[in-house]
Amino acid sequence: MLPGETEFNKKKIIVGYTFVVCDLIHVGHVKLFEKCREQCDILFVGVLTDEVVETYKRKPIIPIEQRLKMVESIRYVKGVIEVYELDQTRMIEKIKPDVFFYAGQVDVSRAVKALEKMGGKYIRIPRTPNISSTQIIKDCQGRT
């Protein structure tokens, strides 16, 4: 044992990782981060760049710099990372999380395989029913 170390402070810190777009942050995002944080000690969140989002969705309304700041301000999040590709395999290899959480619709199978090779665990988080940024945008467009 190291000087000052006790049995009580030898607990392994569990690092979690998830990634999001977080355009128009809503309660579904907050619930995602809360559920992730309940299962890890430290949560890192990757935020996809505008260019990456445009490859499979639409151009985000809120630019990446602002989305990073908004996600960073959520109390469940320890740190944010700007992510330049949709495939999360490199992020998993770089961060080496103990747990990878995901609630979206992107295929994350390659990242999950990389995670499992490192001994990590994948947890699928259910989406919050009846809420999404896309739906909020559609609802706003329908108003006059």
Distances (CA, A) of 95 to 11, 89, 92, 99: 20, 10, 5, 11
Structure tokens that stand for 89 in this block: 């395999």
Q: How confident is the model at residue 8 (pLDDT cuts 50, 70, 90)?
A: low
17-57 pLDDT, tens digit per residue, is 999 999 888 999 999 999 999 999 999 999 999 999 999 98
Q: Put the strands of the sheet holding 99-102 in their side by side order.
A: 79-83, 42-48, 15-20, 99-102, 121-124
In a domain, residue 8? The reply is: no
Residue 47 inside a domain? The answer is yes
Place of tokens 């467009």: 141
Q: Which of 29, 130, 127 is nearest to 70 (CA)?
A: 29
What band does 132 get if pLDDT is binned at 50, 70 and 90? confident
pTM: 0.87
Measured CA to CA, the distance from residue 86 to residue 108 in angstroms comes to 9
Ranking 10-24, 83-97, 122-136 by mean pLDDT, the lowest is 122-136
Which phi and psi (to 5°) does residue 80 adopt?
Answer: -115, 150
Number of folded domains that form the chain: 1
The string of pLDDT tens digits covering residues 96-127 is: 999 999 998 899 999 999 999 999 999 999 98
**Dist CA 103 CA 49 (whole Å):** 18
Asked whether residue 76 is domain-assigned, the answer is yes
Q: What CATH number corresponds to the domain at position 71?
A: 3.40.50.620
Higher pLDDT, 122 or 7: 122
Tell me what pLDDT residue 130 has: 77
Is 49 among the domain residues? yes
